[in-house]
Copies of this chain bind each other. A is one copy, B any other.
């Protein structure tokens, strides 16, 4: 695709070459995200960070990514205005707000709303999550993390062995990640969930049509013993038909250091879209994994800044100018010092 001036609405827009282009630009952003260097390439540009649904970390991640490129951020953090409740169309809202910025990031609770908004916008719109529909930057940062973690082991995404664990029925992030994986080759996926919360059939079919090998199970320990990536997601109790059903699965999808040591290969990377529920009764990742160097959950969120910087740079066509406007950082850098 031609990124310049394009809306980024769905991962379905990207082919393999597009993804590689995004990731290459994300790689080039690392010196700026790690505060070794500062760039002013977007000095004077404005991001309209339009969050019509609260999401602190996604909002701040987009905003910081734009600041790191030298731009300014104007934003909204909820349905503060009554314009939409007064019957204003998303087309009108978009047309008006797009007069205030050079690019818009939008999050909205309704599926399809961001695409509808983009039709009215005069500037590029990046989807920051529209209900159950899409959250393309989350899927990209997940895949970028997989690529980076495997790269440090001398490998690529083709041939990846991954287990996805938890609520695979409702998890927007695992759905999107599966769709992205379809443009790569020879992936082995193990889908680990309670039967009631299984991955939708249409996604499994897409994976198999792409030539991937899919195994379905509700057993955690056996499924994580030969994988490169263990991608855990939250299971909410209220998703089950009854409390008895939920109790039946309690703790069976929880990963901790003891299980990791006993069942995983030594380099298996642990991922999670966050937030992780750290309460004892949660079905997720134990805090005792924090000392495990293969716990990549925070590298995921850090990578989100790189991926979002890359998308801004591509859409506004400054990817090749970033270094030209750069200089060394002159303040104390905690990240460099650790």
Contact: A88 with B329, CB < 8 Å? no
Contact: A298 with B95, CB < 8 Å? yes
Contact: A54 with B81, CB < 8 Å? yes
Chain B residues closer than 8 Å to A63, beta-carbon distance: 74, 100
Query: What separation, in Å, do the CA atoms of A272 and B270 have in the docked complex?
Result: 52
| Contact A80:B78 (CB < 8 A) given known A92-B274, A277-B88, A302-B99 | yes
List residues of A (53-88) whose CB comes within 8 Å of B's CBs: 54-57, 59-61, 63-64, 67-68, 70, 72-74, 76-78, 80-84, 86-88
Chain B residues closer than 8 Å to A40, beta-carbon distance: 43-44
Q: How many copies does the complex hold?
A: 3
Q: What's the interface size class on A, roughly?
A: 35 or more
Contact bitstring A22-60, B, C-beta under 8 A = 1, else 0: 000000000000010011111111101000001111011
Residue A101 at the B interface, CB < 8 A? yes
Residue A12 at the B interface, CB < 8 A? no
Residue A154 at the B interface, CB < 8 A? no
Contact: A318 with B331, CB < 8 Å? yes
Residue A122 at the B interface, CB < 8 A? yes
Query: What separation, in Å, do the CA atoms of A46 and B34 have in the docked complex?
Result: 12
Q: Helix, strand, loop or mixed for chain A's interface?
A: loop
Chain B residues closer than 8 Å to A97, beta-carbon distance: 56-57, 60
Task: Out of B35, B302, B338, name the residue touching A102 (CB < 8 Å).
Answer: B35
Chain B residues closer than 8 Å to A88, beta-carbon distance: 274-278
Query: What separation, in Å, do the CA atoms of A278 and B123 have in the docked complex?
Result: 22
Query: What separation, in Å, do the CA atoms of A99 and B334 have in the docked complex?
Result: 11
Query: What separation, in Å, do the CA atoms of A38 and B325 have in the docked complex?
Result: 15
Task: Out of B48, B99, B317, name the residue touching A332 (CB < 8 Å).
Answer: B317
Query: What separation, in Å, do the CA atoms of A178 and B205 have in the docked complex?
Result: 65
The residue in chain B whose Cβ has the minimal distance to the Cβ of A72 is B67
Contact: B46 with A70, CB < 8 Å? no
List, sorted by A's number, 15 A–B pairs whose CB atoms are closer than 8 Å: A45-B331, A57-B96, A60-B76, A61-B100, A87-B275, A88-B274, A89-B278, A92-B275, A93-B275, A96-B301, A122-B334, A315-B332, A316-B332, A317-B332, A318-B330
